[in-house]
Structure 1
Amino acid sequence: MAKKPIKITEVVLRDAHQSLLATRMTMDEMRPILPAIDEVGYYSAECWGGATFDACIRFLDEDPWERLRILRKEMPNTKLQMLFRGQNMLGYRHYADDAVEYFVQKSVANGIDILRIFDALNDPRNLETAIKASIKEGAHVQGCISYTLSPVHNNEYFANYAKTLEEMGANSICIKDMAGLLTPYSTEELVHSLKETVSIPIDIHSHYTSGLASMSILKGIEAGADIVDTAISPLALGTSHMATESLVAALQGTDYDTGLDLKKLNVVREYFNGLREKYLASGQISPKMLGVDANTLLYQVPGGMLSNLLGQLKEAGKEDKLEDVLKEIPNVRKDSGYPPLVTPTSQIVGTQAVLNVLMNSPYKMVSKEFKGLVRGDYGKTPAPISDEFAEKILKGEERITCRPADLLEPEMDKLKKEAEKYAIQEEDALTYAMFPQVAPKFFEKRAQKLAGVDGDHVDMANKSHPV
């Protein structure tokens, strides 16, 4: 066969630490190693979006926009990639189209090259605005398949969805396997199916949770995948991803050779090894997160969702009910149209399963978010929700059948006005838009830091931040 070097997307600066240590890696911890990462020759570095934005302002006292500008400055030769939740942007509700367009514009202006855009329900209507805006800004659009298993999810379903994304303007397709559900042979079949249907590159993103990712990725590569997501080894495995160096070594001397240098990767590895030791010593990484949990294959529960469920049960003093909740999740998924379990549907389905178990009666108490899922606030579910079940949950409320964002009035002018008193840069209006409760506290702390200091705020933001 003709040579087909595999491209590598390094996820250590975003998904690896989001998976293993709740997104707590600081800019000060990243910055010293960025030039070395830039030298490796990765296809891209996933370094922004997902939960990083929330964690920056809520826990790290860092400006996420400043983080992006530093990443751009320190890694001039590497494409910077972000994870973007379609109409949800990086928040937890749907935003009006003008806010989504403005966010995409500012992300690209500050350094993002590739936007990986997904929707929790795989509803293409929720990706329309983000895709159009990314194309307008000249960015690479990576359309995402939120991978899951159910009676309605099969290769034909995923291939049709990928074709829709390609027709909408996606430049590549990502199989986003957030719970580690891909098995080696299902990956091979899925990649074959996608390659027959679309003509754009295929990226495999699979978490190591179930212990299958490296086998699945190898079969996916043999089936024609073009790009693979990996994490440098000290922050790999467990709920994170397969190790970068292992894949590079496995493909050396083959037609798929990545061309990456293990000596250059070792410089990056040694640095993150020091951080790993620090995180283990401080308890930021739980040894539990580093193991294999094959239970995910039974319940399809991503690692982050599992710790969330355990937290909810602990609070209620019902930790012993975890097994019951895990058994209830498939029932709730079936009733609500088989949504993939990824933010925000994982939280919605999980919380409802907890309520069903604690109340000892299904749907005796219904969360506001679950009601919204059934009503259609989040978009169209993969399988239709029965009228009988919808009536039970909604009690006569009308269901939404249009694109949810069509019901939203433009909101950016209003948000800019509300954020005016805090803003020192245009991007602050977007920070405020996504986290209106948390952002003001962050802005106040930032103002205190800047008080009485001469010079540009950018210089100040580059100085160390207390964690």
Structure 2
Amino acid sequence: HYQAAITFTSHSDPTLFNVRWVADIAKEFGKLGAHSICIKDMAGIASPALMKAWVSEIKDAVPELPVVIHAHYTTGFSPITYLMAIEAGASAVDCGISTLSGRSGHPAMEVFNQVLADLGYDLGWDPVKALEGMKETADVYREYHPRYEFCEMKMAGSVDYRVFTQGIPGGQISIMRNELVKNKLGHLFDKVIEQIQRVRTQAGGVALVTPTSEHVARQAIVNAMNGQSETTDKSPLWPGYSEMLRGVMGKPPGEMQVDLQLRALREWTDATVKKLQVTDDVKNAVSQKVNQIVDYLWSLSFPIQEKQILDELVQRIRQCRELNGRDSFIANQKYQFDERIKQFEKHVAFCF
């Protein structure tokens, strides 16, 4: 079974990752032979109305493909989001057994077994008998829970709404918190959380899902350890974050911070030259030449980068026009799509 995943993410510019973009991606997955599509909301930041819009667009684009929803509980949205998605046509939702649910996990399986049965949905099994099996499974973990209590996510309450604005995946936030505490850096947790989106934007607004979410978080930790609230020219670059800046993980939807991108390329070439099995004099000479070549190639790449940016803007203009004026959650946002289209068109006209 080939299940294609679309990562749910948000951005300060709502024209990025818009619902028409989602529909276009779903169509491409259909052409590639996908058997189903999973919307992966790894941070639990999808509001119920927006998830309903995503599911509706996907079902309109590829009605023959089942849609599965995967979301975490961290923001508190996911139970309502699941119900709205099911109403819009989703075929399945990912849940966790009750003793492993909530917080940064998934909504409880027992709850949805009961709720969906009460609403008249055919689950394909006897809800009463299924609940008995779920209780047995939950009791197994309850018995062994004390052995693993040390690695539980410590939260002030079962919901952390900061994740809604920062978009940290549920599976990552608990691990990161425990690692910081283990290394006696727990006091930096809030400072790391607060700069996730800034560090992400500097790398082109990548979707926060493995492995990019890990690299963004690691860079935020490095920044916090050095007393910085974002990545600066004084911040050491985490290796994975450097790879993102160098394009090793593909082209992000937004624009990267140019000075950081060029710095990552230079540092990588310098490190590569240092590995040469030659004398230091030769290394120094080669390093200078290589940096000159990097700067030259960088200048030559600008037209290519600009063409990619223009292609992306033209695509988003089309998507925005299709969205604008429609009776949907997206079109009714206070963000003015007309104004954004004008900005895009001015940029495209200026470049030509």
Shared fold by TM > 0.5? Answer: yes
- Code of the residue aligned with 1:334 in structure 2: it is T
- Code of the residue aligned with 2:136 in structure 1: it is Y
Does 1:234 find its partner at 2:99?
A: yes
Does 1:272 find its partner at 2:272?
A: no
Q: Which runs of 5+ in 1 are unaligned?
A: 1-139, 402-467
Checking the alignment, whether the CA contact within 8 Å between 2:99 and 2:142 is kept in structure 1 is no
CA drift of 1:311 comes to 4.5
SS of the residue corresponding to residue 179 of structure 1 reads coil
SS of the residue corresponding to residue 252 of structure 1 reads helix
Query: Which residue does the alignment assign to 2:8?
Result: 147
Checking the alignment, whether the CA contact within 8 Å between 2:66 and 2:91 is kept in structure 1 is yes
Distance 1:281 1:388 in 2: 49
CA drift of 1:320 comes to 2.0
SS of the residue corresponding to residue 288 of structure 1 reads coil
SS of the residue corresponding to residue 298 of structure 1 reads helix
CA drift of 1:237 comes to 2.2
1:51-82, CA deviations, whole angstroms, 9 ceiling, x for partnerless residues? xxxxxxxxxxxxxxxxxxxxxxxxxxxxxxxx
Does 1:174 find its partner at 2:35?
A: no
Aligned counterpart in structure 2 of residue 224 of structure 1, from 81, 85, 89: 89
Query: Which residue does the alignment assign to 2:50?
Result: 186
- Code of the residue aligned with 2:254 in structure 1: it is A
Checking the alignment, whether the CA contact within 8 Å between 1:178 and 1:206 is kept in structure 2 is yes
Which is further off, 285-294 or 149-158? 285-294
Query: Which residue does the alignment assign to 2:152?
Result: 286
Which is further off, 188-197 or 254-263? 254-263
Query: Which residue does the alignment assign to 2:68?
Result: 203
Distance 2:143 2:119 in 1: 37
Q: Structure 1 303/251 Cα, relative in aligned 2: closer, same or farther at 3 Å? A: closer
SS of the residue corresponding to residue 208 of structure 1 reads coil
Checking the alignment, whether the CA contact within 8 Å between 2:117 and 2:127 is kept in structure 1 is no
Provide the aligned length of Structure 1 versus Structure 2: 262
Distance 2:256 2:103 in 1: 34
Distance 1:352 1:218 in 2: 36
Query: Which residue does the alignment assign to 2:276?
Result: none
CA drift of 1:203 comes to 0.8
CA drift of 1:274 comes to 2.3
Checking the alignment, whether the CA contact within 8 Å between 2:104 and 2:174 is kept in structure 1 is no
CA drift of 1:392 comes to 3.0
Within a 5 Å distance, the mapping from 1:31-430 to structure 2 comes to 140-150=1-11, 151=13, 152-199=16-63, 200-252=65-117, 254=119, 256-284=121-149, 286=152, 288=154, 291-311=158-178, 313-314=180-181, 317-361=184-228, 362-363=231-232, 364-395=235-266
CA drift of 1:351 comes to 0.7
SS of the residue corresponding to residue 365 of structure 1 reads coil
Distance 2:162 2:139 in 1: 31
Larger Rg: 2
Q: Structure 1 168/334 Cα, relative in aligned 2: closer, same or farther at 3 Å? A: same
Q: Structure 1 234/252 Cα, relative in aligned 2: closer, same or farther at 3 Å? A: same
Q: Structure 1 143/383 Cα, relative in aligned 2: closer, same or farther at 3 Å? A: same
SS of the residue corresponding to residue 53 of structure 2 reads helix
CA drift of 1:253 comes to 5.5
CA drift of 1:235 comes to 2.6
Checking the alignment, whether the CA contact within 8 Å between 2:44 and 2:169 is kept in structure 1 is yes
Greater percentage in helix = 2
CA drift of 1:373 comes to 0.9
Distance 1:271 1:315 in 2: 33
Distance 2:265 2:66 in 1: 42
Which is further off, 166-175 or 234-243? 234-243
CA drift of 1:165 comes to 1.3
Distance 1:352 1:211 in 2: 27
Distance 1:394 1:355 in 2: 19
Q: Structure 1 161/283 Cα, relative in aligned 2: closer, same or farther at 3 Å? A: same
| Bigger relative contact order, structure 1 or 2 (CA pairs below 8 A, ≥6 apart) | 1
Distance 2:191 2:27 in 1: 39
Checking the alignment, whether the CA contact within 8 Å between 1:309 and 1:354 is kept in structure 2 is no
Q: Which runs of 5+ in 2 are unaligned?
A: 267-290, 305-352
1:341-360, CA deviations, whole angstroms, 9 ceiling, x for partnerless residues? 22111110001111112223
CA drift of 1:312 comes to 5.0
SS of the residue corresponding to residue 143 of structure 1 reads strand
SS of the residue corresponding to residue 70 of structure 2 reads strand
Distance 1:313 1:248 in 2: 36
CA drift of 1:287 comes to 6.5
- Code of the residue aligned with 2:166 in structure 1: it is Y
What TM-score do the two structures reach when normalised by structure 2?
0.67
Q: Structure 1 197/257 Cα, relative in aligned 2: closer, same or farther at 3 Å? A: same
- Code of the residue aligned with 1:147 in structure 2: it is F
- Code of the residue aligned with 2:54 in structure 1: it is L
Distance 1:269 1:252 in 2: 15
Q: Structure 1 292/357 Cα, relative in aligned 2: closer, same or farther at 3 Å? A: same
Q: Structure 1 253/302 Cα, relative in aligned 2: closer, same or farther at 3 Å? A: closer
Which is further off, 382-391 or 372-381? 382-391
Checking the alignment, whether the CA contact within 8 Å between 1:232 and 1:268 is kept in structure 2 is no
CA drift of 1:309 comes to 3.3
How high is the sequence identity, in percent, across the aligned residues?
A: 31
Q: Structure 1 287/353 Cα, relative in aligned 2: closer, same or farther at 3 Å? A: closer
- Code of the residue aligned with 1:170 in structure 2: it is A
